[in-house]
Structure 1
Amino acid sequence: MPKNITALRARSRELTKAHKMSIAGVAALGCCALAVTAAPSEAQSTVPHAAPAAAAQVELGNQPAKQIKASITDQMAASALKAEAIAAKQKAAAAASAKKAAPQQAAAQPQRPVAQRPAQQAASRSAERPQVRQAAPAPKSYANNVDGWIRQSLDIMAQKGIPGSYNGLYRNIMRESSGNPMAINNWDINAQNGIPSKGLLQVIQPTFNAYHVEGTSWNIYDPVANITAACNYAAHRYGSMDNVNSAY
């Protein structure tokens, strides 16, 4: 083989080996650069490859599942509240309508006859009625004679606290006037002085006026007024008409 051909082959092998070494060096430098770029910095926390997959939330569209569930719950609650508000409003409207219609229904309802009303209602009404006052007893009547005049005078004297008895009054009436209410003494000293004694118990006018009993007549000849005034005078002077046995 010629020398020049052997030399060319040897040179060709040398160039090929150099080229291979250059390419290997360039590849090694590229791998180092990629390794530096892909390696995490000290500020970043290293998380296992399985953690992101376990912690990741299931997403529907662009929202997490929890947010979608909360949104649906809020919508259902708002719908329920709205339904309750509508039901309450309808209930209030129905109550107002019933209240408004009640007076009209009551007016339209016919009244029951009095005979059909319950006995309890009739009893309560009769209990509410005021009790009818009983009429005052009729005034006591007295005979228009000496007996009746004495008895009427004694009732008045009892009310006024004037003492005296039937027998004491009767005895003095019979002695002074014999039971004549119009009797008058025109001859004694009183008559001479112009003030004669008058009536059943022969009382002068000044004495009658001074001892007149309220509720009786002011007529000195009235038998009851004459007796009560004379007994009032005798009670003040003698203690009672019962103590008088002569002119007084």
Structure 2
Amino acid sequence: MSAIFAAPRSVRLRNLVLTGLATAGAAAGAVTLMPSGASAAEMPQTTHHVTTAVHRAHSAPQAASAGSGNLDGWIKQSLAIMKAKGIPGTYEGLHRNIMRESSGNPNAQNNYDVNAKNGIPSKGLLQVIDPTFKAFHVAGTANSSTDPVANITAAANYAAHRYGSIDNVNSAY
């Protein structure tokens, strides 16, 4: 190989990971630079937002593949159940929190935060851990923390008890 095309050793030791992410019809991306031998466990753990963003970039399949429906439909189904059960919340509050927590991916799972390290990773559209899902599960929804409607409704029920409404949640909860 000619010297013109040989990359310096320091460049060869790094790899660039570029992962596309589709969310409710919009495209987003995440770029992570890390040594080629580094593992995900060595990634920075500065905030919940950073770790879930890193996870979302490596999660698949996207929202459209999780059963029939889409994010708009799941939110509307959850709102109907919430209304019937007296659980407060709005479309905007649910959507804002879903986009921050999972970018609309019902299969998102955070394998990096303290919950994951304790063996109970956050899952689904609103990143609910299983004990919270079980405690705040709403009758009439699936008994699965990754079912989109069950996840949204349980998370909204939890937020209502803890914060008054999902609308009052503006960060990791």
Q: Is the TM-score greater than 0.5?
A: yes
**CA deviation string 1:184-208 (max 9, x = no partner):** 0000000011100000000000000
Q: Quote the offset at 1:157 in angstroms.
A: 0.2
Q: Quote the offset at 1:169 in angstroms.
A: 0.2
SS at 1:151 equivalent: helix
Match of 1:176 in 2: 101
**CA deviation string 1:60-100 (max 9, x = no partner):** xxxxxxxxxxxxxxxxxxxxxxxxxxxxxxxxxxxxxxxxx
SS at 1:144 equivalent: coil
Map 1:126-165 onto structure 2 (within 5 A).
144-165=69-90
As a proportion of its length, which structure holds more strand? Answer: 2
**Counterpart residue type for residue 244 of structure 1:** V
Is residue 145 of structure 2 the alignment partner of residue 228 of structure 1? no
Map 1:79-98 onto structure 2 (within 5 A).
none
Map 1:16-35 onto structure 2 (within 5 A).
none
CA distance in 2 between partners of 1:217 and 1:146 (Å): 16
Match of 2:136 in 1: 211
Q: Count how many residue pairs are aligned between Structure 1 and Structure 2.
A: 106
Which TM-score applies when normalising by structure 1?
A: 0.42
Q: Which has the higher contact order (CA 8 A, sep 6+)?
A: 2
CA RMSD of aligned residues (A): 0.8
Q: Over alpha carbons, which structure has the higher Rg?
A: 1
Q: Quote the offset at 1:152 in angstroms.
A: 0.4
CA distance in 2 between partners of 1:178 and 1:216 (Å): 22
CA distance in 1 between partners of 2:114 and 2:131 (Å): 15
SS at 1:164 equivalent: coil
CA distance in 2 between partners of 1:215 and 1:150 (Å): 15
CA distance in 1 between partners of 2:118 and 2:170 (Å): 24
Q: Quote the offset at 1:165 in angstroms.
A: 0.2
Map 1:48-127 onto structure 2 (within 5 A).
none
The percent identity for this pair of structures is 75
Extract unaligned runs of 5+ from structure 1: 1-142
Structure 1 residue runs of 4+, over 2 Å off?
A: none
SS at 2:122 equivalent: coil
SS at 1:201 equivalent: coil
CA distance in 2 between partners of 1:150 and 1:234 (Å): 15
Is residue 165 of structure 2 the alignment partner of residue 246 of structure 1? no
As a proportion of its length, which structure holds more helix? Answer: 1
SS at 1:226 equivalent: helix
**Counterpart residue type for residue 186 of structure 1:** N
Is residue 124 of structure 2 the alignment partner of residue 199 of structure 1? yes
Q: Of the candidates 181, 187, 192, which is equivalent to residue 112 of structure 2? A: 187
**Counterpart residue type for residue 157 of structure 1:** M
Which TM-score applies when normalising by structure 2?
A: 0.61
CA distance in 2 between partners of 1:219 and 1:191 (Å): 18
